[in-house]
Amino acid sequence: MDRRLAPYRSQVTPGRRDLGRIESLPAVRILTISTLTLVTGGTGFLGRYVIEQLAARGDRVRALVRREDAGLRALGVEQHVGDLRDAAAVATACQGVDIVQHIAGVAGIWGPWNTFYEGNVLATQHVLAACRAHGVERLVFTSSPSVTFDGSPQNGIDESAPYPTRWLCHYPHTKALAEQEVLAANGSGGLRTCSLRPHLIWGPRDPHLLPRLLARARAGQLRRIGDGSNLIDMVYVENAAAAQLRAADALNSNPAAAGKAYFISQGEPVNCWQWIDELLALVGIPPLSKSLSLRTAYQIGTVLEGVHGLLRLKGEPRMTRFLATQLGVSHYFDISRARRELAYSPGVSISEGMARLKQSLGG
């Protein structure tokens, strides 16, 4: 919400002899206090791009961080040090805020339930409580398309797809629980909410997807899963960040946006393994030549999950049921609702994004 402090204007019409004196007065500037947005996860991959885009358009930004960040300081970001699992710290960070971009969360294919529950569900409950307590007007939650994934192919599904009745790992399960709380909170105490589901965020400064792919490929541990024909959606990071801003704006201008979830992607599915080969080629790694059937990969994942759980091994299994199906079946989405209600459009094409990624890698 823009708060404009306009100068007092007299309702008395000036006489003729007063006009010259009035016209000679210096112009009075209108002081505008820009919207204040709190970003959780502001030092993360997506969160930092969101902050950069907010700062570029002149919005005031506050970030809830675990430790001070020099890069955010250079952008003029107000930083509150705290943990999302600490309700008091979250409440303090939300004071005086107009919008919350709740991007932080615990991602991964393996780990204890409590780690995911506290980082995704409990943290979101604290954000919602703080928003209500301090009259925050808008909340955009960063979810995941995996909240609808049970291992079956998803060919162009839209937001009417239900939450599954079985879960292949704790991450999508806890994100779904958090998303449902966010959407249920819409309209509570004047708070307007929505949830975005960006899929496979990639681009320069990616600390997750690309480094893991490259490490496995260089170690000879990356295999094509399935017959190599599955299609997937993904989204370039600057487009994902722009969607977050579009959503917050839409919550202010379009009542239809409130209380809904939105798939976010490039809007053009790609062949999963051809794209992975293109990513590997950016750093001179040859295309994959070895493969596993989806059934074999799923069985291996089942066994490795059992071994890791039984023996309480550190780290994560090299294969899991969730990973096997994510890599071996099609999952792409209809983003018509986001285009229509959020005015979202992927401004950076896949080819342009790949060119920027290659340049960032020194290619």
Active site residues: 171
Strands 270-271 and 231-232: antiparallel
CA dist., res. 267 & res. 216, Å (int) = 28
User: What residues does 333 pair with on adjacent strands?
Assistant: 157
Quick one: tokens of 283?
């750093």
Buried b (16+ CB within 10 A) or exposed e, 275-305: bbbbbbebeeeeeeeebbebebbbebbeebb
Residues whose CB falls within 8 Å of the CB of residue 13, separated by 6 or more in sequence, listed in order: none
Amino acid identity at 182: V
Quick one: tokens of 341?
């209600």
CA dist., res. 316 & res. 356, Å (int) = 31
Amino acid identity at 190: G
Quick one: tokens of 219?
């170690």
Write the CA distances from 181 to 138, 171, 360, integer angstroms.
Answer: 15, 16, 38
Instruction: Work out whether the CA dihedral 171, 177, 183, 189 comes out positive or negative.
Output: negative
